[in-house]
Structure 1
Amino acid sequence: MPLRRRAAALAAVAVTALSALAAAPAATADTASPSPSATASAPKPKLPAGLYGTADPTYDGVWRQSYALLALTTYGVTPAPAAVSWLTGQQCADGGFPSYRADTAKACDPKLEDTNATGIAVQALAALGGHDAVTAKAVDWLTGVQNADGGWSYNPGAASDPDSTGVVIGALAAAGKDPAAVRKGGGGTAYDALRGFQFGCKAKETDRGSYGYPTDGKLAVNAKASADAVRGGAGAGFVVKPPAAGTAAKPLACPAGAADRAASTDAGAAWLTARLAAGGDHLTAVTPGADTPTPDYGTTADAVVALAAAGHLAPAASAYGWLAAHSAQWSRGNPAALSQLVLAAHAAGADPRAAGGADLVQQLTNLGPRPAPAASASASAKKKDDGGSSAASTWLIVGVFFVASVGVGFLLSGRRRNRPGA
């Protein structure tokens, strides 16, 4: 049974990867590189043409490809046709996307199609433009697998969860559909489903406003679920513009509690703001068996986007500032991690080309095929600004292999760690 099918197992994988990264020696600026001996024996996996990154794409191929295309398109980089065609080629005949299909000549196994891969693919292809037929078919698949409570599960047929529901809300919005108007058989809406995961006035005060992830029929307070639910409650996808004027989030008003979607979303944002402040502008996770928490970079980036989507710029900007100063080692060579940071910077009104002295957009660009001609000039100019040497390119390639083993762990921690049990 895939690891992504068990929330507890995936959470362990996620925090283990984060712990390993936190324990590794700190990188010196952006010029450090692994020793030749460390990379000489590293196997070079056979990867599909056009794919971003070098890690095994089995569990995250469509996810990281879509994330990369979203981030690059947001900053004016025109992805190579091979990168886009690789993504569109992953779609199944019924419109859904799996995490990865190695042989696109074979029919898809419907049990392997998932709402997360499909939802982020819709967002990426809608942002690129010119793929209306693909996105329309994918949206039809998504609406067809909606649960009666208005939400979505990772794989169709399971109970709804806030993470998957948030991703699909973003996909519907990107495709021009009002998520509030999508009801299967007259059931609930996606926003109804999200509110069902929120801890209200009966919860202890420190948990009020947060969202839980359902495991074995019970809800447990979860920062990742809270960030995804707040972003979804705001009706947003992964690309969020910084709010023009930030406001302070209002905690859950008890004894009345959240009365509508806006109040519910704001209460979730207030809980995230408090958690970020308690952690020193970032969220943390505790590795099983450890006594001290370690930084949760991915969920912190998710929280930045969620808070900006809900209209709260100040805490979003503060959290991104922490990420810009501390996440270089975590994100290096990892296309999904870099994409998260690029889009977090966008939401916080920051410049990802100057994140702690690094150019995150260029780093991400270098992990995939050469951009289309329209973007080549700007990419070349930026390379020149960064030194323009072949040594820099060599370092990037070496760096990718150095973190290849971390890539899947991170991606599972971000999107796959919170999945319902089989």
Structure 2
Amino acid sequence: MSSLRRGTAVLAASVLCTAAAPLALTGTASAAPATSPARAAAAEDDGLYGKGDPKFDGVWRQSVALLAQDTAGVSPADRAVTWLTDQQCANGSFTAYRADPRADCDGKTPADTNATAAAVQALAALGGRSDAVRSAAKWLVSVRNEDGGWGYNPGSPTDANSTGVVIGALAVSGGDPAKPGEPSAYEALLGLQLGCDAKEGERGAFAYQPDKKGDLAPNDDATAAAVLAARGGGLVVEPAEDDGETPAPTDCGTDSGSGGGGEEGADEKISPDAAAGAGAAYLTEVLRANGRHLPSAMPGEKGKPDYGNTADAVLALAASGHDDTAEDTLDWLEDHAKDWDKSASDPAALGALVLAAHAADGDPRDFGGADLVKRLNATGPAPAKDAPPEEDDDKDDDGDGAGTAVTVSLVVAGLAAGAGIGILFSGRRKQQGL
């Protein structure tokens, strides 16, 4: 996930849900004036990555940057990690950005599921912050919607991107998104997939949310986020050991077909793996039709490449076994990243590219001639250590490990309280395709 990849959807969310965070890996909302209180406070945030106003994406971009550094063998500066943990509210949640983390969160603080889930993934990966991870995951469990999914803010309608990134957070922090619940997180996610009653070229895609009539429209970013989550993973995807293309299910009316039912399979329930395969097949066709990249759906940008969503697609394809397509798409990004202005100094964009390179077995330190890791490091405080992953020492995660942050007893307690579990990829935060 990241999308979001999340820029304009953030603005829409802020209007509809008083949200203030990115919906995908790379997007950022329009910056507030430099004289805004948030920007003035950010000038003193020497642990924060990026110079842009963090009002809408501070926690998200910090989390993506830390995750990307970790995959590249970089040990971030302590103050960078402390900046992130200081953003957490006492109840475990995160918002997009708190200008004064010393002040208590109150009813006016817009808790943000995307920011919280991204922070969980970053802190779990780095280790040593299990209390923060545990409390954040517990909060996510407590705000699950009745349908099993999550919206951008607690109580807002379930969307594929938010549900996806939370599933990823619970998966990497020791929780089990597949634990029984009525309904489960995966049911909520798969309920947003277009099935056999959709147009043939749209089958397998995921919608961000249903429109006002309850209809689903394909959304590329939501599809990438949902595929990643359906595979049960977070924003860090390990490179596949074996090369090759894993065939995706395409037959409707069977367990190997695309989700959502339809005339032939309305009563069929497919597995998350099968749903991920169908979503990956949809992404593959969109990439092929557009010269190995995803097109932008933003007003005034249609027909232009969406670099952030394309990086998200690499994660989804690599996670679902489509190694060849993931590598081809990464090759396109490597050839064209120089055309993306955000790839110069935007920490979320750079982090997304580093994560994509990691997933598809690329080299982020020589990416089209650019050292993405060096660029990312330069957007924040100098790292404590910078070494390729194979040279990096094991992290000290204070004895209990990132994977134990959410215990079985926590999950059971959350379910017993009626919160349930479940939630990926924006941040995801994007065009809703409605």
Work out which structure has the larger RCO, using CA pairs closer than 8 Å and 6 or more positions apart in sequence: 2
Query: How far apart, CA to CA, are the structure 2 residues paired with 1:101 and 1:369?
Result: 19
Structure 1 residue aligned with 2:380, among 368, 383, 386? 368
Q: Which structure 1 segments of 5+ residues have no match?
A: 19-42, 379-412
Worse overlay, 245-254 or 279-288: 245-254
Contact 1:113 1:155 in 2 (8 A): yes
Structure 1 residues 337 and 202: CA distance shift in structure 2, 3 A: same
1:347 aligns with 2:344: no
Report the TM-score, using the length of structure 2 for normalisation.
0.76
Alignment of 1:283 onto 2:283 = no
- Is contact 1:299–1:414 with CA below 8 Å preserved after alignment? no
Q: Give, as a single letter, the amino acid of the residue that structure 2 aligns with 1:341.
A: L
Shift of 1:6: 5.5
Aligned pair partner of 1:88 in 85, 96, 104: 85
Equivalent in 13, 24, 33 of residue 4 of structure 1: 13
Q: 1:249–1:269: 8 Å Cα contact kept in structure 2?
A: no
Tell me, yes or no, if structure 1 residue 106 matches structure 2 residue 103: yes
Q: For residue 2 of structure 1, report the CA deviation from its aligned partner.
A: 5.3
- Counterpart check, 1:177 vs 2:175: yes
Cα contact 2:161–2:429 (8 A) shared by 1? no
How do 1:182-193 and structure 2 match up within 5 A?
186-193=181-188
Matches within 5 A, 1:223-372: 223-245=220-242, 246-256=244-254, 257=257, 258=259, 259-288=270-299, 293-330=303-340, 331-372=343-384
**Contact 1:201 1:252 survives alignment (8 Å):** no
Q: CA deviation at 1:414?
A: 5.8
Q: 1:210 aligns with which of 182, 205, 215?
A: 205
Residue 70 (str. 1) matches residue 67 (str. 2)? yes
Contact 1:243 1:312 in 2 (8 A): no
For residue 417 of structure 1, report the CA deviation from its aligned partner: 2.4
Q: Which amino acid aligns with 2:429?
A: R
In 2, Cα distance between equivalents of 1:80 and 1:270: 40
**What does the per-residue CA deviation read over 1:351-378, in whole Å, with 9 as the maximum and x for residues that have no partner?**
0111000000110001100111x43x88
Query: For residues 69 and 193 of structure 2, what CA distance do their matches in structure 1 show?
Result: 33
- In structure 2, do the counterparts of structure 1 residues 57 and 234 end up closer, same or farther at CA, with 3 Å as the change threshold? same
Q: 1:345 to 1:289 in 2, by over 3 A?
A: closer
Structure 1 residue ranges, 4+ long, deviating more than 4 angstroms after superposition: 418-421
Q: What does the per-residue CA deviation read over 1:197-233, in whole Å, with 9 as the maximum and x for residues that have no partner?
A: 0000000100000001114344221000000000000
Q: Distance in 1 between matches of 2:79 and 2:87?
A: 13
Amino acid at match of 2:200: E
Q: TM-score, normalised by structure 1?
A: 0.78
Structure 1 residues 131-142: aligned runs within 5 Å:
131-142=129-140
Amino acid at match of 2:248: K
Change (3 A) 1:276 1:109: farther
User: Would the aligned equivalents of 1:139 and 1:172 in 2 still touch at CA under 8 Å?
Assistant: yes
Q: How far off is 1:289 after superposition?
A: 5.3
- Is the contact between residue 205 and residue 223 of structure 2 (CA under 8 Å) also seen in structure 1? yes
SS of aligned partner of 1:416: coil
Moved more, 165-174 or 339-348: 165-174
Taking the aligned partners of 2:300 and 2:328, their CA distance within structure 1 comes to: 30
Aligned counterpart, 2:194: 199
Distance in structure 2 (CA, Å) of the matches to 1:128 and 1:227: 25
1:147-202 deviation line (CA, Å, top 9, x unaligned): 12211111010111110111011111111111101x5xx42221111110000000
Structure 2 Cα separation of the partners of residues 83 and 289 of structure 1? 36
How many residues in Structure 1 have an aligned counterpart in Structure 2? 352
**What displacement does 1:104 show?**
1.2
CA distance in 1, matches of 2:245, 2:429: 32
CA RMSD of aligned residues (A): 2.7
Q: Alpha-carbon deviation of 1:347? A: 0.4
Whole-angstrom distance in 1 between the partners of 2:193 and 2:11: 28
Q: Which amino acid aligns with 1:121?
A: A
Maintained 8 Å contact 1:154/1:419: no
Hey, which of these two has a bigger chunk of helix by percent?
1
Match of 2:145 in 1: 147
Question: 2: distance between equivalents of 1:288 and 1:52?
Answer: 28
Can you list the C-alpha shifts for 1:222-264, whole angstroms capped at 9, x where unaligned? 0000000000000010100112223333243123344222211
Whole-Å separation in 1 of the counterparts to 2:427 and 2:154: 20
- Number of the residue aligned with 1:129: 127
Amino acid paired to 2:284: T
* Deviation (angstroms), 1:4: 2.7
Q: How much has 1:117 moved relative to structure 2?
A: 0.3
SS of the residue aligned with 2:62? helix
Q: Which amino acid aligns with 2:383?
A: P
Distance 1:2 1:354, change over 3 A: closer
Q: 1:315 to 1:201 in 2, by over 3 A?
A: same
The answer as to whether partners of 1:211 and 1:268 remain within 8 angstroms in 2 is yes
